[in-house]
Amino acid sequence: MVQYGRTSLDMSFAALSDATRRGILERLGRADASISALAESFDMTLTGMKKHVSVLEQAGLVMTRKVGRVRMCRLGDCTLEAEAAWLRRHRDMWEARFNALDRLVDELRRKESQDGPD
């Protein structure tokens, strides 16, 4: 099996694949929050939340900074433009394939109606 290095797309999609991490991004979209506050709002241990935030931080989706004894989180600088472009390309490809399939089905139905029942 061929192994590829982890790209930023891989890291972003891996980070976004988890519902809790998507929820964290939504929460941080409203306001910055401490890891403790995030853990409390998601009914999660501090250790569990640190792991989720770390994954988001490695993908560039979240940034943290220490303020006194508290680690604060905010949305990162990642704009998800590359991820959106990747999704658009693949959506366009699938739409083209489904459109071709629709045309084929329509053509087969026309032929069947012209030939009549057997």
Predicted confidence band of residue 115 (pLDDT cuts 50, 70, 90): confident
pTM for the complete prediction?
0.75
For the stretch 69-112, pLDDT in tens is 999 999 998 888 889 998 999 999 999 999 999 999 999 999 98
Specify the DSSP class assigned to residue 117.
-
With beta carbons less than 8 A apart as the criterion, state whether 56 and 12 touch.
no
CATH 1.10.10.10 fits 8-75, yes or no: yes
| Residue of 5 and 116 predicted with greater confidence | 116
The mean pLDDT of the chain is 91
| Helix and strand numbers, DSSP H then E, in the chain | 5, 3
Question: How far is the C-alpha of 74 from the C-alpha of 81, rounded, in Å?
Answer: 19
Looking at residues 62-67, what average pLDDT do you find? Answer: 96
Question: How far is the C-alpha of 41 from the C-alpha of 100, rounded, in Å?
Answer: 47
Domain boundary assignment for the chain: 8-75, 79-118
